[in-house]
Structure 1
Amino acid sequence: MGSSRDTLGLVRCLRNCIKHVLITIRVSQVETAERPLKVSMRR
């Protein structure tokens, strides 16, 4: 049963990592999309 617990832990870690990566990608996309608007507003 120990091996099954280890696999579950690995799956949870992988899911958390994937969620973190997706969030960072979304944030980076939003920042890049807002940057040109901010630059145009400054001008």
Structure 2
Amino acid sequence: VAQVTGHRSLNILWQVYTELFPKTLHEKFDKLQKSKNIE
């Protein structure tokens, strides 16, 4: 049960994080994609 609630709170934290920092998250994702393409 503890694992499930922990996972749920993680999902909530992730949703809050993505809502608060959508721009920085997107920029990081772009950099990751670009670095993958370069390799």
Please give the range of the TM-score, normalised by the shorter of the 2 chains.
Answer: 0.5 to 0.7
The match for 2:36 is none
- Pick the structure with greater CA Rg: 1
Within the alignment, does 1:21 sit opposite 2:14 as a pair?
no
Instruction: Could you tell me which runs of 5 or more consecutive residues in structure 2 were left unpaired when the two chains were aligned.
Output: 24-39
The alignment yields a C-alpha RMSD, in angstroms, of 0.9
Larger RCO (CA within 8 A; separation ≥ 6): 2
TM-score normalised per structure 1: 0.49
**Aligned residues: percent identity?**
9
The number of aligned residues is 23
Spell out structure 1 runs of 4+ moving beyond 3 A. Answer: none
Instruction: Could you tell me which runs of 5 or more consecutive residues in structure 1 were left unpaired when the two chains were aligned.
Output: 30-43
Q: Distance in 2 between matches of 1:25 and 1:13?
A: 18
Of 6, 25, 32, which residue of structure 2 is paired with 1:10?
6
Q: Distance in 2 between matches of 1:25 and 1:7?
A: 26
TM-score normalised per structure 2: 0.54
